Chain A
Amino acid sequence: GDSVTQMEGPVTLSEEAFLTINCTYTATGYPSLFWYVQYPGEGLQLLLKATKADDKGSNKGFEATYRKETTSFHLEKGSVQVSDSAVYFCALSRPGNEKLTFGTGTRLTIIP
C-alpha cells in the first residue's frame, strides 16, 4: 500500500539556518504530494503541494520539488525564523482517491 517516510525529529536549528526535512514515498501511479504544517494548539494547514513530476511547490519561503526518479519531496527553506517552529507533515494522495496518507511528522524548533 501507499506510505510516506519522513526524517525523524525533533529538529532544532538556529534562526537564519538552512532547513531540509526529507520525505520519500511509496505509491503506485502518479500521486499528488503535500506538505502540511501544524502550529502549537492548532490543526493542520496546507503549506504547499505538487501534482506532477518536476513540479515545485512553494509558499512562505518554503519549497519542495516532486522528484519521481527518487520518489522524494523534500522540504527546504533558506533562512528559518522562530515563527517556523511547528510540526511538519508530508502526505500523498492518489488520483481519483481523496484520502491522504501522512508521514509521522517532524517537529521543528527554531532558537533565536
Chain B
Amino acid sequence: DVKVTQSSRYLVKRTGEKVFLECVQDMDHENMFWYRQDPGLGLRLIYFSYDVKMKEKGDIPEGYSVSREKKERFSLILESASTNQTSMYLCASSSARGQRQPQHFGDGTRLSIL
C-alpha cells in the first residue's frame, strides 16, 4: 500500500513564525500536492510538484512556498504565519505512469496559529 506520511498530526505556532510542514511518500510517485481543508470550502490546492525541484502554484499559493529537493519529500513552508492560515493541511501523491491515477493522501496536519 502507498504510504504518505506527514510529520505532525497537530502543530501550534505563533504569528510571524516560519513554519515547515513535511510530507514523505514511499511509492516513488512523481506528483505531490499540498491542500488545505476548511469547513464549507472543501479542499483547496496550494502548490503541487511534478518532479524534483519543480513546483507550480495551485489555487491559493499566497503566503506559502514549497520545496522538493528529493523525489519522496515535499515540504510546505509558511514564510510568516498568520492566524488565517489556521487550518488542516493535507499532502497527497500520485503516479504519473498511466493516465488518471488516483491521489493518495496523508492523515493531515492540524495547524493552529496563535
Which residue numbers of A lie inside 8 Å of B, CB to CB? 32, 34, 36, 41-46, 49, 51, 89, 93, 95, 98-100, 102-105
CB proximity of A87 to chain B, nearest CB, Å: 9
Q: Are B42's CB and A41's CB within 8 A?
A: no
Query: Provided the pairs A49-B102, A98-B94 are in contact, do residues A89 and B107 lie with their beta carbons within 8 angstroms?
Result: no
Number of A-B contacts defined by CB within 8 Å: 52
CB proximity of B2 to chain A, nearest CB, Å: 10
- Once the chains are docked, how many angstroms separate the CA of A34 from the CA of B54? 26
CB proximity of B6 to chain A, nearest CB, Å: 8
Q: Tally chain B residues at the interface, Cβ within 8 Å.
A: 25
Query: Provided the pairs A34-B102, A44-B90, A51-B100 are in contact, do residues A98 and B48 lie with their beta carbons within 8 angstroms?
Result: yes
Q: Are A104's CB and B4's CB within 8 A?
A: no
Kindly supply a per-residue 1/0 record for chain B positions 40-53, scoring 1 wherever the CB is within 8 Å of any chain A CB and 0 otherwise: 11111100101000
| Interface CB pairs A-B, < 8 A, 22 | A32-B100, A43-B4, A43-B92, A43-B105, A43-B106, A43-B107, A44-B43, A44-B90, A44-B92, A46-B102, A49-B100, A51-B100, A89-B42, A93-B100, A95-B99, A98-B48, A99-B33, A99-B48, A99-B58, A100-B43, A102-B44, A103-B42
